[in-house]
Chains A and B, each alone.
Chain A
Amino acid sequence: MTTLAWWLIRAQFRTRAAATCLSMLAIALGVALGYSIHLINEAALADFGRAMKVVQGDPDAVIAARDSSGGVPLATINAIARDPAVLAIAPVIETRVRIGNTGTPLRLIGLDVFSAAAVLPRLLPRNEGMTGGDIFGGRIFASPALLDRLGQRPGASVTLWRGDQRWQTTIAGDLPATGPDDLLLVADIAWVQEHFGPPDAVSEGRIRLAPDTDRANWRRDLAARLPADLLLRAAEDDQARVSNLSRAYRVNLNVLALVALLTGAFLVFATQLTAVAQRSTQFALLGVLGLSPRMRLLQVLLEGLAIGVPGALGGLALGYALALALTQRLGADLGGGYFSGSAPPIVPEVAPTLGFLTLGCAASLAGALYPAYLNRVQPLAQALKVGFLQHHRAGVPSHRRWRLPLLALSAFLMTRLPPAFDLPLAGYGSIALLLVLGVRSAPLLTQWLFGWLAARRLPAAQQIAVQNVAQAPLMAQVAASGLIVSFALTASMVIMVSSFRLAVNHWLDHVLPAPLYLRSKATPLPQDLLAGLERADAPFARVERMAQAALTIDARRPNVALLIRELERNNPAARLPFTGPLLTPPEDMAVVWVSEPMHEIYGIEPGQRLRLPLIGRVVDVFVGGIWRDYSRQFGAVTISRDDYLRLGGDFQPSDLALWPRPGQESAASDWLAGWTTGYGLELTDGIEIRHLSLSIFDKSFAVTYALEAAATLIGLFALAVTLAASVRLRARELATLGALGFDRRMLRRAVIFEGALIAAVGLLIGVACGIAIGAVLTHVVNPQAFHWRMSLAVPWLTVLGAAGLTLLAAVVASAYAAHQATRLPTAQILADVQ
Chain B
Amino acid sequence: MRRRTFLTTPLLWPTLALAAPADTSVAYPPVTPGRRLVFPRDHGAHPDFRTEWWYVTGALDTPERDMGFQLTFFRSRPGTAEQLSSPIAARQILFAHAALTLPGDRLRHTERVARVGLGAAFSIDDCDVSIGAWRISRQGSGDRQTFRLQMQSPQFSYDFTLTPSQPLLLQGDNGYSRKGQRPQFASYYVSWPQLTVDGFLLFDGRRQAARGRAWFDHEWSTAVLSDGAVGWDWVGINLADGGALMAFRLRDAQAGTLFAHVAWRNAAGRLRQFETAEISFQVLRHWSSTRSGANYPVQLEIRFGEHTVRTLPVLDDQELSTSRPVPVVYWEGLVRVEGSFAGRGYLEMTGYADRLSI
Q: Does chain B have a CB within 8 A of A293? A: no
**How far, in angstroms, from A280 to B114 measured CA to CA in the complex?**
84
> In the bound complex, what is the Cα–Cα distance between A211 and B154 (angstroms)?
7
- Asked if A82 is at the interface (CB within 8 A of a chain B CB), the reply is yes
Q: Which residues 114-136 of B have a CB within 8 angstroms of A?
A: 114-115, 117-119, 121, 130-133
B84 and A194 contact, CB distance less than 8 A: yes
Instruction: Report how far A91 CA is from B115 CA in the complex, Å.
Output: 12
Residues in chain B near residue A74, CB distance under 8 A: 87-88, 117-118
* Residues of chain B in range 59-98 having any CB-CB distance to chain A below 8 Å: 78, 80-81, 84-90, 93
Q: Which of A184-192, A426-434, A625-633 contacts B (4 or more CB under 8 A)?
A: A184-192
B324 contacts A by Cβ under 8 Å = yes
Minimum CB distance partner of B84 in chain A = A194
Question: Which residue of chain B lies nearest to A213 when distances are taken between CB atoms in the complex?
Answer: B154
Q: Is B90 within 8 A of A190, CB to CB? A: yes
Q: What residues of B have a CB within 8 angstroms of the CB of A112 in the complex?
A: 88, 90, 114-115, 118
Query: Could you tell me if A81 and B86 are in contact, using CB atoms closer than 8 angstroms?
Result: no
Q: A82 and B130: CB pair below 8 A?
A: yes
A190–B132 CB distance below 8 A: no
Inter-subunit contact B18/A125 (CB<8 Å): yes
Q: Is there contact, CB below 8 Å, between B324 and A210?
A: no
Any A CB within 8 A of the CB of B15: yes
Q: Give the docked Cα–Cα distance between A611 and B85 (Å).
A: 35
Q: Which of B19, B118, B133 contacts A82 (CB 8 A)?
A: B133
B283 an interface residue at 8 Å Cβ cutoff?
A: no
CB atoms of B90 and A117 under 8 A apart: no
Neighbour of B132 across the interface among A88, A138, A200, CB < 8 A: A88
CB <8 Å contact, A137 and B88? no
A136–B18 alpha-carbon span in the complex (Å): 8
In angstroms, Cα B324 to Cα A132, docked, is 19
How many interface residues does chain A have, given as a range?
35 or more
A78: Cβ under 8 A from any B Cβ? yes
Residue B321 interfacial (CB < 8 Å): no
| B190 adjacent to chain A (CB < 8 Å) | no
Residues on the A chain within 8 Å of B131, using CB:
81
- Contact indicator B78/A91 (Cβ below 8 Å): no
**Given A78-B119, A194-B85: A134 touches B133 (CB 8 Å cut-off):** no
Which residues on the A side are within 8 Å of B121 (C-beta)? 78
Asked if residues A191 and B84 are in contact (CB atoms below 8 Å), the reply is: yes
A127 at interface, CB cutoff 8 A:
yes
**B112: A residues at CB distance < 8 A:** 88
- B17, B86, B153: the one contacting A194 at CB < 8 Å is B86
How far does the alpha carbon of A193 sit from the alpha carbon of B89 in the complex, in Å?
Answer: 9
Q: Which residues of B contact A87 (CB under 8 A)?
A: 132, 153-154
* B118 partner, pick from A127, A132, A189, beta carbons under 8 A: A189
A51, CB-defined interface residue at 8 Å: no
The one of A114, A124, A212 in contact with B115, judged by C-beta atoms closer than 8 angstroms, is A114
A361 within 8 A of partner (CB): no
Q: Which residue of the partner chain, among A190, A210, A212, contacts B86 with CB atoms under 8 Å? A: A190
Q: How far is the CB of A110 from chain B (nearest CB, A)?
A: 9
Interface residues of B in 153-192 (CB under 8 A from A): 153-154
B152 within 8 A of A: yes
A111-133 residues with Cβ-Cβ distance < 8 A to B are: 112-115, 117, 124-125, 127, 132-133
Check: A588 CB closer than 8 A to any chain B CB.
no
- In the complex, A83→B119 CA distance in Å? 10
Residue of B nearest to A134 (CB): B20
The one of B18, B118, B132, B153 that contacts A134, using a Cβ cutoff of 8 Å: B18
CB distance A194 to B89 under 8 Å?
A: yes
Complex CA gap A188/B78 in Å reads 15
Residue of A nearest to B130 (CB): A82
Residues of A within 8 A of B89 (CB): 190, 194
Q: How far is the CA of A125 from the CA of B84 in the complex (A)?
A: 21
Q: Let me know if B113 is at the binding interface, CB within 8 A.
A: yes
CB contacts (< 8 Å) of B118 on chain A: these are 74, 77-78, 81, 91, 112, 115, 189
CB within 8 Å for A114 and B19 given contacts A74-B118, A137-B80, A191-B84? no
Q: Is A135's CB under 8 angstroms from B133's CB?
A: no
Question: How many angstroms between the C-alpha atoms of A125 and B80 in the bound complex?
Answer: 17
Residues on A with C-beta less than 8 A from B114 are: 81, 112, 114-115
Alpha-carbon gap, A210 to B157, bound state (A): 12
Residues of B in contact (CB 8 Å), total: 34
Residue among B85, B86, B115 with the most chain A CB within 10 A?
B86
Does A662 touch B at the CB level, under 8 Å? Answer: no
A474 at the interface (CB under 8 A from B): no
Q: Is the CB of A137 within 8 A of B154?
A: no
Are B93 and A114 in contact, with the CB atoms below 8 A?
yes
| Smallest beta-carbon distance B152→chain A, Å | 5
Interface residue? A151 (CB, 8 A): no
Q: Mark A768-791, 1 if CB is under 8 A from B, else 0.
A: 000000000000000000000000
Closest to A83 in B: B133
What is the 8 Å Cβ interface bit string for chain A, positions 192-216, against chain B (1 contact, 0 not)?
A: 0110000110100000001110000
Contact of A502 with B by CB under 8 A: no
Closest to B119 in A: A81
Considering the complex, give the chain A residue whose CB is closest to the CB of B78: A136
Asked if A84 contacts B113 (CB within 8 A), the reply is no
**Cβ–Cβ contact A137 & B132, under 8 A:** no
A136 to B132, Cβ gap below 8 A?
no
Q: Are A188 and B90 in contact (CB under 8 A)?
A: yes
Q: Does A86 contact B (CB under 8 A)?
A: yes
Partner of A89, one of B18, B119, B325: B119
Contact A133 B132 (CB under 8 A): no
In the complex with contacts A74-B87, A194-B89, A136-B19 CB distance below 8 A = yes
Fill in one digit per residue for B14-25: 1 if any A CB lies within 8 Å of its CB, else 0: 010111100100
Query: Which of A59-87 touch B at CB < 8 Å?
Result: 74, 77-78, 81-84, 86-87
A136–B81 contact, CB under 8 A? yes
**In the assembled complex, how far is the CB of residue B356 from the closest CB belonging to chain A, in whole angstroms?**
23
Asked if A117 and B152 sit within 8 Å, CB to CB, the answer is no
> With A and B bound together, what is the CA distance between A134 and B80 in angstroms?
9
Docked pose: A117 CA to B322 CA in angstroms:
13
C-alpha spacing A78/B130, complex, angstroms: 11
- In the complex formed, the residue of B with least CB distance to A135 is B18
Please give me the residue from chain A that is nearest to B93 by CB atom: A114
From B18, B87, B90, B132, contact of A86 by CB (8 A): B132
B204 → A minimal CB distance (Å): 12
Contacts of A188 in B (CB 8 A): 81, 90
A480 → chain B closest CB, angstroms: 69
Q: How far is the CB of B105 from chain A (nearest CB, A)?
A: 21
Q: Binary interface profile of A, 128-153, with partner B (CB < 8 Å = 1, else 0)?
A: 00001111111000000000000000
Q: Which residues of A contact B132 (CB under 8 A)?
A: 81-83, 86-89
Complex alpha-carbon distance, A125 and B89, angstroms: 18
Contact residues, B283-330 vs A (CB, 8 A): 324-325
Asked, given contacts A137-B20, A188-B81, whether A193 binds B88 with beta carbons under 8 Å apart, the answer is yes
Closest A residue to B114 using CB positions = A114
Q: CA of A132 to CA of B80 in the docked complex: distance in angstroms?
A: 13
Query: What mask results when residues 33 to 58 of chain B are scored 1 for a CB within 8 Å of chain A, else 0?
Result: 00000000000000000000000000
> With a CB–CB cut-off of 8 A, which chain A residues contact B85?
194
Q: How far is A90 from B131 in the complex, measured between Cα atoms in Å?
A: 13
Known: A74-B117, A83-B133, A125-B18. A117 touches B81 (CB 8 A): no
Q: List 19 A-B contacts (CB under 8 A).
A: A74-B87, A74-B88, A77-B119, A81-B133, A84-B152, A86-B132, A86-B133, A88-B119, A114-B115, A125-B18, A127-B17, A133-B18, A134-B20, A137-B19, A190-B86, A193-B88, A194-B84, A194-B86, A202-B88
* Apart from A117-B324, A133-B20, A199-B86: 20 A-B pairs, beta carbons within 8 A: A74-B88, A74-B117, A74-B118, A81-B119, A81-B133, A84-B133, A86-B132, A89-B132, A112-B90, A112-B114, A114-B119, A117-B325, A127-B18, A133-B18, A135-B18, A189-B88, A190-B89, A202-B88, A210-B154, A212-B154
Which A residues are closer than 8 A to B by beta carbons?
Answer: 74, 77-78, 81-84, 86-89, 91, 112-115, 117, 124-125, 127, 132-138, 188-191, 193-194, 199-200, 202, 210-212
3 smallest A-B Cβ distances: which pairs? A136-B80, A134-B20, A81-B119
